[in-house]
Amino acid sequence: MRRIMSCIAVVFIVSATQATLAEAGVLPAREDVDTADITSSTPPSPDEMPIMWELPDAIFDNGPLVTYPAGGCAGGDASRVQSSSLLMSTLGFTASTAGAFRIADDFTVTAPGWTVNSITFFAYQTNSTTTTTFNDARVQIWDGPPNAGGTLIFGDTTTNRFQSSAFSNIYRDTETTVASCARPVMATTATIGTTLPPGTYWVDFQLGGTLASGPFVPPTTVIGSTSPCSPCNALQWSGSAWAALNDTGTGTQQDVRFVVDYAAVPVELQSFNVE
Protein backbone atom coordinates (compact mmCIF):
# COMPACT_ATOMS: atom_id res chain seq x y z
CA MET A 1 0.00 0.00 0.00
CA ARG A 2 1.58 3.27 -1.13
CA ARG A 3 0.15 5.60 1.50
CA ILE A 4 -2.01 5.54 4.56
CA MET A 5 -5.61 5.97 3.39
CA SER A 6 -8.28 7.74 5.38
CA CYS A 7 -11.08 6.16 3.40
CA ILE A 8 -12.11 2.87 5.06
CA ALA A 9 -13.54 1.50 1.83
CA VAL A 10 -10.24 1.99 -0.01
CA VAL A 11 -8.25 0.34 2.78
CA PHE A 12 -10.63 -2.61 2.69
CA ILE A 13 -10.15 -3.04 -1.05
CA VAL A 14 -6.34 -3.00 -0.72
CA SER A 15 -6.42 -5.49 2.17
CA ALA A 16 -8.76 -7.81 0.28
CA THR A 17 -6.40 -7.72 -2.70
CA GLN A 18 -3.42 -8.61 -0.48
CA ALA A 19 -5.40 -11.47 1.05
CA THR A 20 -6.24 -12.81 -2.41
CA LEU A 21 -2.56 -12.68 -3.37
CA ALA A 22 -1.65 -14.53 -0.19
CA GLU A 23 -4.18 -17.27 -0.86
CA ALA A 24 -2.91 -17.62 -4.43
CA GLY A 25 0.71 -17.92 -3.25
CA VAL A 26 1.85 -14.92 -5.29
CA LEU A 27 2.85 -12.53 -2.54
CA PRO A 28 5.75 -10.20 -3.45
CA ALA A 29 9.15 -11.55 -2.43
CA ARG A 30 9.95 -8.42 -0.41
CA GLU A 31 8.72 -5.02 0.72
CA ASP A 32 10.82 -2.21 -0.74
CA VAL A 33 11.15 1.46 0.12
CA ASP A 34 10.12 2.63 -3.35
CA THR A 35 6.87 0.66 -3.27
CA ALA A 36 5.87 1.16 0.36
CA ASP A 37 6.37 4.78 1.43
CA ILE A 38 4.26 4.61 4.58
CA THR A 39 5.38 7.44 6.84
CA SER A 40 2.99 7.30 9.80
CA SER A 41 4.44 8.99 12.87
CA THR A 42 1.49 8.10 15.09
CA PRO A 43 2.40 5.36 17.57
CA PRO A 44 0.20 2.27 17.32
CA SER A 45 -2.44 2.07 20.06
CA PRO A 46 -2.77 -1.53 21.30
CA ASP A 47 -5.76 -2.50 23.41
CA GLU A 48 -3.40 -2.97 26.35
CA MET A 49 0.26 -2.43 27.21
CA PRO A 50 2.34 -4.46 24.72
CA ILE A 51 3.93 -7.67 25.90
CA MET A 52 7.68 -7.28 25.42
CA TRP A 53 10.06 -10.03 24.32
CA GLU A 54 12.91 -10.89 26.70
CA LEU A 55 16.27 -12.26 25.55
CA PRO A 56 16.92 -15.84 26.78
CA ASP A 57 19.99 -16.56 28.94
CA ALA A 58 21.97 -18.99 26.74
CA ILE A 59 21.73 -17.98 23.12
CA PHE A 60 23.23 -17.75 19.68
CA ASP A 61 22.19 -14.39 18.17
CA ASN A 62 22.53 -13.92 14.40
CA GLY A 63 21.95 -10.15 14.69
CA PRO A 64 22.47 -7.20 14.78
CA LEU A 65 19.17 -5.59 13.83
CA VAL A 66 18.99 -2.35 15.85
CA THR A 67 20.87 0.63 14.40
CA TYR A 68 19.50 3.47 16.58
CA PRO A 69 18.62 2.49 20.17
CA ALA A 70 15.67 4.61 21.33
CA GLY A 71 15.74 6.35 17.93
CA GLY A 72 12.54 4.88 16.52
CA CYS A 73 8.82 5.49 16.87
CA ALA A 74 7.71 6.60 20.35
CA GLY A 75 11.24 6.08 21.75
CA GLY A 76 11.50 2.48 20.57
CA ASP A 77 14.62 1.13 18.89
CA ALA A 78 15.07 1.70 15.14
CA SER A 79 16.25 -0.75 12.51
CA ARG A 80 16.83 1.75 9.71
CA VAL A 81 17.16 1.06 5.99
CA GLN A 82 20.07 3.16 4.70
CA SER A 83 17.95 4.34 1.80
CA SER A 84 19.61 7.71 1.17
CA SER A 85 23.23 7.19 2.24
CA LEU A 86 23.81 3.72 0.75
CA LEU A 87 20.83 3.44 -1.66
CA MET A 88 19.54 0.32 0.06
CA SER A 89 15.92 -0.47 -0.65
CA THR A 90 14.54 -3.56 1.09
CA LEU A 91 12.53 -3.11 4.26
CA GLY A 92 11.83 -6.82 4.67
CA PHE A 93 11.79 -10.16 2.86
CA THR A 94 8.68 -12.32 2.64
CA ALA A 95 8.58 -15.56 4.66
CA SER A 96 4.87 -16.37 4.62
CA THR A 97 2.99 -19.55 5.46
CA ALA A 98 0.24 -18.15 3.22
CA GLY A 99 2.54 -18.08 0.19
CA ALA A 100 5.47 -19.94 -1.28
CA PHE A 101 8.28 -18.03 0.45
CA ARG A 102 10.73 -19.30 3.08
CA ILE A 103 14.00 -17.88 4.40
CA ALA A 104 17.11 -19.84 5.39
CA ASP A 105 20.29 -18.76 7.20
CA ASP A 106 23.14 -20.60 8.92
CA PHE A 107 24.41 -20.99 12.48
CA THR A 108 27.28 -22.93 14.07
CA VAL A 109 26.84 -25.31 16.99
CA THR A 110 29.89 -25.37 19.26
CA ALA A 111 31.28 -28.33 21.25
CA PRO A 112 30.04 -30.37 22.99
CA GLY A 113 26.77 -29.84 21.10
CA TRP A 114 23.46 -28.13 21.83
CA THR A 115 20.01 -29.09 22.93
CA VAL A 116 18.02 -26.52 20.95
CA ASN A 117 15.00 -25.50 22.99
CA SER A 118 13.57 -22.83 20.70
CA ILE A 119 14.40 -20.36 17.94
CA THR A 120 13.09 -16.79 17.82
CA PHE A 121 12.54 -14.99 14.52
CA PHE A 122 12.02 -11.26 13.88
CA ALA A 123 9.34 -10.07 11.45
CA TYR A 124 6.55 -7.55 10.98
CA GLN A 125 3.17 -7.18 9.34
CA THR A 126 2.88 -3.64 7.99
CA ASN A 127 0.46 -1.39 9.91
CA SER A 128 0.06 -3.73 12.87
CA THR A 129 -0.09 -2.37 16.40
CA THR A 130 2.46 -3.38 19.04
CA THR A 131 0.14 -6.24 19.99
CA THR A 132 1.46 -9.22 18.04
CA THR A 133 -0.47 -10.59 15.08
CA PHE A 134 1.70 -13.71 14.71
CA ASN A 135 0.30 -17.18 15.36
CA ASP A 136 2.25 -19.57 13.12
CA ALA A 137 5.89 -20.70 12.78
CA ARG A 138 7.11 -23.53 10.51
CA VAL A 139 10.75 -24.53 10.98
CA GLN A 140 13.20 -26.92 9.31
CA ILE A 141 16.89 -27.52 10.07
CA TRP A 142 19.40 -28.68 7.46
CA ASP A 143 22.92 -30.06 8.00
CA GLY A 144 24.27 -27.93 5.14
CA PRO A 145 23.10 -25.32 2.64
CA PRO A 146 19.61 -26.32 1.45
CA ASN A 147 20.57 -25.26 -2.10
CA ALA A 148 23.92 -27.08 -2.15
CA GLY A 149 23.77 -30.61 -0.81
CA GLY A 150 22.33 -30.09 2.66
CA THR A 151 20.10 -32.80 4.13
CA LEU A 152 16.90 -32.02 6.03
CA ILE A 153 17.37 -33.35 9.58
CA PHE A 154 14.55 -31.69 11.55
CA GLY A 155 11.07 -30.30 10.98
CA ASP A 156 8.74 -29.81 8.04
CA THR A 157 6.63 -27.12 6.37
CA THR A 158 3.30 -28.34 7.79
CA THR A 159 3.76 -28.45 11.58
CA ASN A 160 2.99 -25.23 13.41
CA ARG A 161 5.71 -24.93 16.07
CA PHE A 162 4.51 -21.54 17.34
CA GLN A 163 5.29 -21.01 21.03
CA SER A 164 4.86 -17.28 21.65
CA SER A 165 5.19 -13.83 20.09
CA ALA A 166 5.77 -10.37 21.53
CA PHE A 167 6.83 -6.87 20.51
CA SER A 168 10.65 -6.65 20.24
CA ASN A 169 10.70 -2.86 20.89
CA ILE A 170 12.14 -2.46 17.36
CA TYR A 171 10.57 -0.50 14.50
CA ARG A 172 11.71 -0.88 10.90
CA ASP A 173 12.02 2.51 9.18
CA THR A 174 14.15 4.34 6.59
CA GLU A 175 16.34 7.43 6.36
CA THR A 176 13.47 9.20 4.60
CA THR A 177 10.80 7.97 7.05
CA VAL A 178 12.69 8.36 10.33
CA ALA A 179 10.69 7.13 13.35
CA SER A 180 7.87 5.73 11.22
CA CYS A 181 5.48 3.69 13.36
CA ALA A 182 4.13 1.54 10.52
CA ARG A 183 6.35 -1.52 11.03
CA PRO A 184 6.69 -2.71 14.65
CA VAL A 185 8.87 -5.83 14.64
CA MET A 186 7.66 -8.86 16.58
CA ALA A 187 9.85 -11.58 18.13
CA THR A 188 8.14 -14.88 17.36
CA THR A 189 9.42 -18.03 19.06
CA ALA A 190 9.10 -21.58 17.74
CA THR A 191 9.50 -24.69 19.91
CA ILE A 192 12.28 -26.96 18.59
CA GLY A 193 13.40 -29.60 21.13
CA THR A 194 16.21 -31.44 19.37
CA THR A 195 19.92 -32.08 19.94
CA LEU A 196 22.65 -31.20 17.45
CA PRO A 197 26.33 -32.22 17.45
CA PRO A 198 28.97 -29.56 16.70
CA GLY A 199 28.81 -28.28 13.15
CA THR A 200 27.21 -25.72 10.85
CA TYR A 201 23.46 -25.89 10.25
CA TRP A 202 20.82 -23.95 8.33
CA VAL A 203 17.48 -22.93 9.80
CA ASP A 204 14.69 -22.60 7.21
CA PHE A 205 11.46 -20.91 8.33
CA GLN A 206 8.06 -19.45 7.47
CA LEU A 207 5.80 -17.30 9.65
CA GLY A 208 2.09 -16.49 9.65
CA GLY A 209 -0.19 -13.93 11.24
CA THR A 210 -3.69 -12.53 11.21
CA LEU A 211 -3.02 -9.66 8.77
CA ALA A 212 -2.71 -9.92 4.98
CA SER A 213 0.65 -8.10 4.93
CA GLY A 214 3.83 -10.17 4.65
CA PRO A 215 5.05 -11.35 7.08
CA PHE A 216 8.28 -9.54 6.22
CA VAL A 217 11.66 -10.36 7.79
CA PRO A 218 14.08 -7.39 8.04
CA PRO A 219 17.74 -8.14 7.25
CA THR A 220 20.53 -7.66 9.76
CA THR A 221 21.58 -4.02 9.68
CA VAL A 222 24.85 -2.23 10.44
CA ILE A 223 25.35 1.51 9.90
CA GLY A 224 27.64 2.16 6.93
CA SER A 225 27.47 -1.36 5.47
CA THR A 226 25.36 -2.80 2.65
CA SER A 227 26.23 -6.40 3.61
CA PRO A 228 27.15 -6.54 7.31
CA CYS A 229 28.66 -10.04 7.60
CA SER A 230 31.58 -12.08 6.32
CA PRO A 231 29.90 -13.20 4.19
CA CYS A 232 26.16 -12.60 4.32
CA ASN A 233 24.64 -15.72 2.81
CA ALA A 234 20.90 -15.95 3.60
CA LEU A 235 18.59 -17.53 1.03
CA GLN A 236 14.93 -17.22 0.02
CA TRP A 237 12.76 -20.04 -1.35
CA SER A 238 10.19 -18.82 -3.88
CA GLY A 239 8.25 -22.03 -4.39
CA SER A 240 10.55 -23.68 -6.91
CA ALA A 241 14.15 -22.67 -6.17
CA TRP A 242 16.48 -21.07 -3.64
CA ALA A 243 18.00 -17.68 -4.45
CA ALA A 244 20.33 -15.26 -2.66
CA LEU A 245 18.54 -12.93 -0.26
CA ASN A 246 19.60 -9.71 -2.01
CA ASP A 247 18.73 -6.11 -1.22
CA THR A 248 16.85 -4.69 -4.21
CA GLY A 249 18.70 -1.38 -4.28
CA THR A 250 22.31 -2.56 -4.02
CA GLY A 251 22.08 -6.20 -5.08
CA THR A 252 24.12 -7.23 -2.02
CA GLN A 253 23.31 -10.47 -0.20
CA GLN A 254 21.88 -10.15 3.31
CA ASP A 255 21.49 -12.12 6.55
CA VAL A 256 18.53 -12.18 8.93
CA ARG A 257 18.43 -12.07 12.71
CA PHE A 258 17.30 -15.11 14.67
CA VAL A 259 18.04 -16.18 18.24
CA VAL A 260 18.71 -19.81 19.19
CA ASP A 261 17.90 -20.68 22.82
CA TYR A 262 19.99 -23.72 23.71
CA ALA A 263 21.64 -25.69 26.49
CA ALA A 264 25.05 -27.34 26.09
CA VAL A 265 24.75 -31.12 25.98
CA PRO A 266 26.31 -32.71 29.11
CA VAL A 267 29.27 -34.97 28.22
CA GLU A 268 27.58 -38.05 29.71
CA LEU A 269 24.51 -37.49 27.52
CA GLN A 270 26.22 -36.94 24.20
CA SER A 271 24.12 -39.34 22.16
CA PHE A 272 22.74 -37.06 19.49
CA ASN A 273 19.20 -37.66 18.28
CA VAL A 274 18.14 -35.54 15.34
CA GLU A 275 14.60 -35.83 14.00
pLDDT of residue 182: 95
> How many H-runs (helices) and E-runs (strands) does the chain carry?
1, 15
**Domain for residue 134, yes or no?**
yes
Outline where the chain has alpha helix (H). 8-24
Q: Does 262 reside within a domain? A: yes
For residue 46, what pLDDT is reported?
A: 58
Q: 224 is in which domain, residue-wise?
A: 8-269
pLDDT at 99: 81
Give residues with Cβ within 8 angstroms of 113, minimum separation 6: 195, 196, 197, 198, 264, 265, 270, 272
Tell whether 41 is covered by a domain: yes
Count structural domains, the chain: 1
Whether 79 is covered by a domain: the verdict is yes
Whole-model pTM: value is: 0.84
What's the rounded Cα separation, in Å, for the pair 73 and 32?
19
Distance of CA 218 to the CA centre of its chain: 6
DSSP letter at 34 equals G
- In angstroms and rounded to an integer, the radius of gyration of the C-alpha atoms of the chain is 18
Predicted local confidence at residue 23, as pLDDT: 37
Decide if 275 is inside a domain: no
Contacts of 211 (CB under 8 A, 6+ apart): 125, 126, 127, 128, 133
Which three-class secondary structure state does DSSP give residue 257? Answer: coil
Establish whether the linkage from the previous residue to 266 is cis, with ω within 30° of 0.
Answer: no
Low-confidence ranges of the chain (pLDDT < 70): 1-26, 34-58, 267-275
